[in-house]
Chains A and B, each alone.
Chain A
């Protein structure tokens, strides 16, 4: 009896719904993502000096990313679980390859040139790290015991360090938080979370003591961009002026004046939120945050309904990491967080982060649409 009601719930009667179900697409999530992508074009058109070429290039990337999402939604979550360790190992190897190749090139190296396209292993590891940690923890009873905690920590720290060494602090941070999110959802005890936070806070002054003056300088600029107003701090000052001058209702679409004059180089990428806030004001900002919250809520709902420990942990971690993205970017642009190079998810110009993000949503859809109707207690 119970099975029947569930299956009814799971077969929306409409034709379109039927098609979408066969496509393994989650309708609410899809609508949210679609809306935000549309919004992205609207803002990009204004921030990118009303250049249609910019829009077309971005549209091509978004289209490809949606295709990838749909493809991944078709894969049975069991397959993700099965290949977790393999994919993670591959990602680590590629990261090492990038570091070694970087020794020969000059400066930062994040790309692996595959001839026909360039591939960024750090993007892949953003998804495979939570997959790996979820896979490992799902093999054991929850909450994790100290030994599993230790292994999981190593699984998180290894890719984090490899990426930090590229050096790409922003991505390293996101990878670390995606792994930490798995631990959190796995039921890491609150006492332990508090203890770790306290230790980290306690270690900071000691670390500071051992740093060389130039390293301290770097940290200071990192924490306080205003100390470097000719470099990145310049953006922060200008971005605050842009956001503040937007007021409650904003200056209207294409009405941004500050971005036009001052920080064009990053107004389409990391600092696009400042353009949005100037043009659409507080109302727009709250609306955008609400849209993000809707997507995140749907993802958390999917996680809560997921079957099996692996699927739950992975789904919830992907949902939470998406929020971290949003929070770190907006926090940086409005001047409450240090400047790290993290784009505004689904809105900033650029292909790599969109592909990774939509791949993550593809996995979430796969988890949600491949449930097996086993009788459960």
Chain B
């Protein structure tokens, strides 16, 4: 094998290299001269121009803040809009003694120290020439008071600003959310150019999830200003692009019905349009008035909200974790049928308690004395615990876990709100990881009646119910139907992630048992079946807040209200052609049948009968 070597010619290489060094040096000199020419142009030719700009006049880039998009409900009712309001604003650059000015303003307009602190914090984040509000939503009296003395306050002025307004106040606080002043952490994560001039940002709810769409695009104006920073000429401007309007699937009238129906109970109601997954009702009670948050809520008012026992700031529909109680039974029953663990005509005798082999512990039925002999349908209709203890024992935790998982238990529903809790669907593996313990058979039993580790959120429960009504076609809930365009329809169901393979005769027998819950004389929610010309399928639930000792008797009159059981109800209607699924949780409501079911009944009635009228 032969290789050709190029012989290095040192002399040629050296000369070539030296030439290149000289060439490089010339290039460097030329480019440097270019820089100097440009500097001469800026500093000698342009000096006067730039010096004027710097000293007497100045080009200021004024951001033009876009108007925030409006949020509508499904019928076009306004849930969030912008109203004109007057604010007192200061430009630090033009104020010789800021502290003294603030003090004078404080005595004049009776401003709290807290507001001054808030202002100071916001001011430090802004440029010295930026106008920063001290008071938002001034009263007519405040405006009049300041107008008189305005000449004595250079750099302080009243500005008209748009302020976010929520007409339905506490009714929409947990779903629409609210905007608030941009805080320091948000300042770091928001795109600085886009938010130059913006004072508010969506904090929770739809306002937060759809911040980008609602905010719009900031425009700007290049303004020539004089020494007093008064604009003398607009050189160039690019208008802002307003934020996009959002059209929700929410029905605010239905939301109000649900919220009012909860009455004095804390809790949540979630209703889903089964055909689309659109959320019709997303109520969490108590709510709070979000409007003070927009203008900066006073510290004591905020403390009061935060320390209230009813926890009004807590979004129960999205983040509330409850044991599902007996509302889990239709799903467990369906699991039994699907896994062939039991047949619909199998009868079981319920003596009022259940015992595991060789264990003395009595797992009690809610009905002392028992239900006697019951089949699947009767067990669901009457909510027999013993039947489901037995079924759970046959199924085992592994099969229950994998079956319930398909209905979305233990995972976020995917609704377009942030901060959702995934709930808890226990499994052997979870318990080993979390508690470093093996799974006990007794835990399987109580999981079968929706107690124990199992925890669900109201939105999860509504979603699972809608999926069941949809015969296993998984429903993904969402709130925003449309962005900007009010006319286009809700997205169709087609592209849903998964279908649960279910035998239709199994689903049908569970649904007919759920119909019996309302329409059978023995049903636990028979009270809401009267005077309606359609059928509702549902299931009541009662979730224990605390454990009763083995031999003690539960008497709701004897115990503290806060320790009373939660009342739950899941339902959908019409049973033969499901349109709406509703989940209700009334905290400390006692019984699902008497407290939670009527709330769902009202929502369904208004939705179906209201629709019929149209």
Contacts and interface: CB of A to CB of B under 8 A. Distances in A.
Contacts of B61: 229-230, 234, 237
B563 interface: no
Nearest to A239: B42
Nearest to A243: B42
Contacts of A187: 13, 16-17, 20
B50 interface: yes
Size category of the binding interface on chain A:
35 or more
A312 B43 CA distance: 39
Contacts of B93: 261
A304 interface: yes
Given A248-B47, A327-B31, A277 B39 contact: yes
Nearest to B43: A282
B10 A377 contact: yes
**Which of B10, B16, B42, B50 has the most chain A CB atoms closer than 10 A to its own CB?**
B42
Interface in A118-148: 140-143, 145
Given A240-B42, A244-B51, A277-B43, A230 B32 contact: no
Nearest to A185: B20
A234 B63 CA distance: 11
Interface string A305-330: 00001001000100110010001001
B6 A244 contact: no
B554 interface: no
B218 interface: yes
A285 B55 contact: no
Contacts of A141: 6-9, 13
B35 interface: yes
Given A248-B47, A334-B38, A296 B196 contact: no
Interface in B552-602: none
Given A245-B51, A247-B44, A247-B47, A293 B28 contact: yes
Main secondary structure of the interface of A (DSSP, over half): helix
B20 A331 contact: no
A303 interface: yes
B5 to A, nearest CB: 9
Contacts of B36: 285-286, 289
Contact of A241 (B6, B34, B40, B50): B50
A248 B28 CA distance: 24
Interface in A222-258: 228-231, 234, 237, 240-248, 257-258
Main secondary structure of the interface of B (DSSP, over half): helix
B339 interface: no
A184 interface: yes
Nearest to B33: A289
A61 B413 CA distance: 51
A143 B127 CA distance: 56
Contact of B38 (A248, A297, A336): A336
A281 interface: yes
Contacts of A248: 43-44, 47
A230 B44 contact: no
Size category of the binding interface on chain B:
35 or more
A316 B196 CA distance: 45
Nearest to A330: B35
A79 B63 CA distance: 57
A140 B6 contact: yes
A29 to B, nearest CB: 16
A262 interface: yes
A172 interface: no
A245 B47 contact: yes
Contacts of A142: 8, 13, 16-17
Contacts of A286: 36, 39
Interface string B47-85: 101110111001101010000000000000000000000
B338 interface: no
Given A237-B59, A327-B31, A245 B39 contact: no
Interface in B469-487: none
Nearest to B129: A261
A258 B53 CA distance: 10
Contacts of B49: 244
A254 to B, nearest CB: 16
Contacts of A282: 39-40, 43-44
Interface in B211-232: 218, 220, 222
Interface string A78-109: 00000000000000000000000000000000
B50 A230 contact: no
Interface string A333-356: 011100000000000000000000
A303 B25 CA distance: 12
A175 interface: no
Interface in A273-294: 277, 281-282, 285-286, 289, 293
Contact of A245 (B7, B8, B25, B54): B54
Interface in A16-30: none
Given A140-B6, A282-B44, A289-B36, A300 B54 contact: no
A348 to B, nearest CB: 17
A90 to B, nearest CB: 29
Contacts of A244: 42-43, 46-47, 49-51, 53-54
A145 B129 CA distance: 61
A245 B53 contact: yes
Contact of B39 (A243, A293, A319): A243
B220 A230 contact: yes
Nearest to A258: B54
Nearest to A301: B21
Contacts of A289: 32, 35-36
A230 B196 contact: yes
A248 B44 CA distance: 6
A334 B41 CA distance: 10
Contacts of B16: 142-143, 187
B28 A323 contact: yes
B608 interface: no
A230 B196 CA distance: 7
Contacts of B304: none
B234 to A, nearest CB: 13
Contacts of A257: 54
A242 B47 CA distance: 10
A334 B31 CA distance: 14
A230 B127 CA distance: 13
B63 A230 contact: yes
Contacts of A261: 93, 127-129
B109 interface: no
B229 to A, nearest CB: 12
B144 interface: no
Contacts of A316: 17, 20-21, 24
B18 interface: yes
A331 B55 CA distance: 25
A320 B32 CA distance: 13
Nearest to B28: A323
Nearest to B32: A289
Contacts of B18: 304
Contacts of A327: 31-32, 35
Contacts of A240: 42, 50
Interface of B: 6-11, 13, 16-18, 20-21, 24-25, 28-29, 31-32, 34-36, 38-40, 42-44, 46-47, 49-51, 53-55, 58-59, 61, 63, 93, 127-129, 192-194, 196, 218, 220, 222
Nearest first, the 7 closest Cβ-Cβ pairs linking A and B are A244-B50, A245-B54, A231-B193, A141-B6, A230-B193, A282-B43, A244-B42
28 contacts: A141-B7, A184-B24, A187-B13, A230-B61, A237-B59, A240-B50, A241-B53, A244-B43, A244-B47, A244-B51, A244-B53, A248-B44, A257-B54, A258-B54, A261-B93, A261-B127, A261-B129, A281-B43, A300-B24, A300-B25, A304-B17, A304-B18, A312-B17, A320-B28, A334-B35, A334-B38, A336-B34, A377-B11
Given A142-B17, A237-B61, A261-B127, 12 more contacts: A141-B9, A145-B6, A229-B220, A234-B61, A234-B193, A243-B43, A246-B47, A261-B129, A277-B39, A285-B43, A293-B29, A293-B32
